[in-house]
Amino acid sequence: MQISISNTMEEASALAAKLIEDAVRKNPFTVLGLATGSTPLPLYAELVKACKEGLDFSRVRSFNLDEYYGLAPDHPQSYHYFMNENLFSKINIDLKNTRVPDGLAKDVPAFCKAYEEEMKAAGGVDIQVLGIGSDGHIGFNEPGSSPVSRTRLVSLTHSTIVDNTRFFANEAEVPRQAISMGIGTVMEARSCLLLAFGKNKAKAVKGMVEGGISQFCPASFLQMHASAYVFLDEDAASELQLKDYYKEIGAAR
């Protein structure tokens, strides 16, 4: 894991965006794995800026990590809606090249199998963007998720439901299930870029970076990934035992 600690989330997001921009410049057919939630918003703002400055996304393909089960694509809290609002409508990506799991899939196992097959047929994900839940989830792989899990229907933990209530009118409206890429799926991406900001992520970040590799903190499986980059602000890094060391080697890079 390469740990990068910045003063602000904007600075951290600009560093992460640079890796994506360089990849797209080098390979216009880059396959991106994308996340939603509040964390990637400044990263997406950077990509929008890069596109305005001439970076071409027209041949980029994308697969989103997850979608709430039961929400239609036009539901304002669906991840389809989020992606259209915050990225797809603002860059020149071809919507035909974008995929978000179908929250209304009737035959969920068949849908999940097809999603995995489509990713494989696209050549696999080159760069996977990730946030982290306060319980250590990545995608919606909650504590207890198997390291070899694939795209499937998952049940959200109570803590995730509480965390995500801020996007809904009340807790009762938060969907209880989602379709999510599995840990095994995420681990196959050639690179993973995980971003985490704010004090409420500090404990999960500590578990991910310095804890034992365990299903109790699914993000800790990224310790086994050969190309995992972690971008933190000071608050999210605040509980790391080796924080000063990560900063020293970061400055030397």
Distance CA(81)–CA(232), nearest Å, equals 26
- Binding segment toward ligand F6R, per CB under 6 A, in 117-125, 134-142, 169-177, 224-232: 134-142
> Which position among 21, 46, 66, 234 is part of the footprint of ligand F6R (CB under 6 A)?
66
Residues contacting ligand F6R: total by CB under 6 A: 13
- Is there a catalytic annotation at residue 118? no
End-to-end alpha carbon distance in the chain: 14
Between the alpha carbon of residue 47 and those of residues 4, 57, 100, 134, 202, the distances in Å are 19, 10, 19, 26, 26
Interaction of residue 227 with ligand F6R, rule CB under 6 A: no
Which of 215, 219, 141, 147 is CA-nearest to residue 178? 141
**Which member of 46, 67, 135, 234 is catalytic?**
135
Which of 246, 236, 240, 180 is CA-nearest to residue 39? 236
Residue closer to ligand F6R (CB basis): 103 or 131: 131
- Binding segment toward ligand F6R, per CB under 6 A, in 13-21, 70-78, 135-143, 226-234: 135-143
Interaction of residue 233 with ligand F6R, rule CB under 6 A: no
Helix residue ranges per DSSP H, 77-227: 79-86, 108-121, 158-164, 183-187, 202-210
> Which position among 61, 137, 206, 225 is part of the footprint of ligand F6R (CB under 6 A)?
137
Burial profile 33-68: b = 16 or more Cβ within 10 angstroms, e = fewer: bbbbbebbebbbbbbbebbeeebebeebbbbbbbbb
Interaction of residue 145 with ligand F6R, rule CB under 6 A: no
Q: How far is the CB of 137 from ligand F6R (least distance, A)?
A: 5
- Is there a catalytic annotation at residue 235? no
Interaction of residue 39 with ligand F6R, rule CB under 6 A: yes
**Which member of 66, 67, 102, 163 is catalytic?**
66
Distance CA(104)–CA(70), nearest Å, equals 5
Q: How far is the CB of 248 from ligand F6R (least distance, A)?
A: 28
Residue closer to ligand F6R (CB basis): 8 or 38: 38
Residue with the two structure tokens 């800790």: 220
Residue closer to ligand F6R (CB basis): 59 or 211: 211
Q: Are strands 31-34 and 61-64 parallel, antiparallel or unpaired?
A: parallel
Angle at which helix 41-52 crosses helix 9-26, to 10 degrees, equals: 50
Q: Nearest residue to ligand F6R, using CB?
A: 131
Active site members: 66, 135, 137, 142
Footprint of ligand F6R (CB under 6 A): 35-39, 65-66, 131-133, 137-139
